[in-house]
């Protein structure tokens, strides 16, 4: 597992490197126009990268088993809810383009996006709960009502910002953890159907979201609503097979909104062509495989679910972002992990990797806690085979 962790670090380092280079190209003129400095956005991202690496290192060496502590889990849940509520409080929350997703840090020109860190909280809490309940997860209360109540509260707060993309991402990750944790498929299926119906009703009642959906389904009739997606597709068309050359892209010059954020993949495609975009897709595929390998070889149930949830979170976000940028999915405001500009997204993604490394470190069974856990599990299994109850 040590090699798996090292390979994961190499993959993430390459993605971050590609992201920094693409960001430098995408924001040069923007930095001059807005800040008088062509490297302002790169320096900001480098600062967030430093913070993210520091926190990821802590996450890699902070024994993940401690997250099963009830006081710590309750504290994480309360802190996450408070931060999500703060975005709506005048003086703390910052509104951008009609959305209230950020909190201003007093005395600093920096905004924090609580929903990014809520992703990690959801994975930790659901993984710990499902690992604790074991076979009892088949019950409606333990396997669906309680975990769905916690997940639902966080999703409602994020949806109110509004942030439909993160809501869908977290809901999908939650479903994966519930199923992997032992919840009855019929219970989860019913909740998914109800959630999907609620989502459809919400879209039908929101003119902006409805227009985006119609623009995706019928591009010829909604050119104005499809402008951003059209410009993204133009970027790939202009880049062709081999790209226009690094720094030579045209769409970043005001044609493609949010070129350095959600649509940085389009800038990469225009400038470096198909080989670069396929390389990024391959790197995310490798990250997913390595994450699932860590999950499969985790020393305990909690580690298995935790690694599965973190890997699913990163993989699904990359899939949705690339799907949107290439025109395969309706427009959603999700960043491309490790590559898009944005401190909260980069830091949370790096912390997720640190936690994956943490699980991988324990997989060889060399630490005392892992040995004791395995001994306890083996003893419990022996009692179960002799007629006892593991969860009694």
Please compute the mean of the pLDDT values over residues 187-191 and round it to a whole number: 92
Note whether 2 and 364 are within 8 A (CB).
Answer: yes
- Separation between Cα atoms, residue 118 and residue 166, nearest integer Å: 10
* pLDDT tens string 76-124: 999 999 999 999 988 788 777 667 888 887 666 678 899 999 999 999 9
Q: How many CA atoms lie within 13 A of 144 on its CB side?
A: 14
Whether residue 56 contacts residue 350, with contact meaning beta carbons closer than 8 Å, is answered with yes
pLDDT, tens only, 155-169:
999 998 888 889 999
Most confident stretch, 45-54, 142-151, 250-259: 45-54
> What's the length of the chain?
392
pLDDT for 43 equals 94
d(CA 334, CA 166): 7
Rounded to whole angstroms, the Cα distance separating 247 from 174 reads 40
Query: For the residues of 198-229, what is the DSSP string, one character each?
Result: HHHHHHHH-HHHHHHHHHHH-GGG-TTTTHHH
Q: Are the CB atoms for 113 and 344 separated by under 8 Å?
A: yes
User: Percent of the chain having pLDDT more than 70?
Assistant: 89
Across the chain, the runs of DSSP E, i.e. the strands, are 93-96, 99-104, 111-112
pLDDT at 384 over 80: no
Residue 243 near residue 276 (C-beta atoms within 8 A): yes
**Chain mean pLDDT for the chain:** 87
pTM of the model: 0.89
Over residues 246-267, the mean pLDDT reads 89
Residue 309 has pLDDT above 90, yes or no: yes
Measuring CA to CA, which residue among 58, 25, 14, 123 is closest to residue 341? Answer: 25
* Alpha-carbon separation of residue 310 from 102, 121, 172, 231, 253 (angstroms): 23, 10, 12, 32, 35
Provide the residue ranges of all domains of the chain, joining segments of one domain with +.
2-385
Residue 378 pLDDT > 60: no
């Amino acid at each position: 597992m040590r090699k798996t962790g090292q390979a994961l670090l190499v993959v993430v380092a390459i993605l971050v490197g590609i992201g920094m280079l693409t960001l430098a190209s995408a924001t040069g003129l923007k930095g001059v126009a807005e800040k008088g400095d062509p490297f302002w956005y790169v320096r900001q991202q480098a600062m967030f990268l430093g913070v993210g690496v520091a926190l990821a290192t802590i996450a890699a060496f902070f024994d993940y088993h401690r997250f099963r502590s009830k006081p710590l889990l309750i504290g994480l849940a309360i802190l996450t809810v408070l931060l999500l509520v703060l975005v709506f409080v005048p003086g703390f929350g910052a509104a951008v383009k009609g959305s209230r997703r950020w909190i201003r840090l007093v005395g600093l020109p920096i905004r924090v996006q609580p929903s990014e860190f809520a992703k990690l909280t959801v994975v930790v809490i659901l993984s710990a709960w499902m690992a604790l309940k074991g076979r009892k997860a088949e019950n409606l209360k333990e396997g669906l009502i309680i975990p769905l109540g916690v997940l639902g509260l966080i999703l409602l707060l994020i949806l109110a910002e509004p942030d439909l993309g993160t809501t869908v991402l977290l809901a999908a990750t939650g479903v994966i953890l519930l199923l992997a944790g032992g919840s009855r498929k019929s219970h989860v299926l019913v909740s998914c159907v109800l959630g999907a119906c609620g989502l459809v009703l919400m879209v039908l009642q929101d003119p902006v979201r409805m227009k985006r959906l119609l623009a995706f389904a019928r591009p010829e009739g909604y050119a104005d609503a499809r402008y951003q997606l059209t410009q993204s597709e133009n970027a790939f068309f202009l880049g062709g097979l081999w790209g226009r050359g690094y720094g030579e892209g045209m769409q970043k010059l005001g044609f493609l909104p949010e070129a350095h954020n959600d649509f940085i993949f389009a800038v990469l495609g225009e400038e470096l062509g198909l080989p670069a975009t396929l390389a990024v897709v391959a790197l995310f595929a490798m990250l997913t495989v390595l994450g699932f390998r860590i999950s499969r070889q985790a020393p305990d149930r909690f580690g298995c679910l935790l690694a599965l949830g973190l890997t699913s979170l990163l993989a699904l976000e990359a899939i949705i972002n690339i799907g949107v940028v290439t025109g395969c999915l309706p427009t959603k405001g999700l960043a491309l992990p490790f590559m898009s500009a944005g401190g909260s997204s980069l830091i949370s993604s790096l912390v997720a990797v640190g936690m994956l490394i943490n699980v991988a470190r324990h997989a060889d069974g060399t630490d005392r806690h892992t040995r004791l856990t395995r001994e306890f599990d083996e003893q419990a299994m022996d009692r179960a085979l002799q007629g006892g109850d593991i969860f009694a």
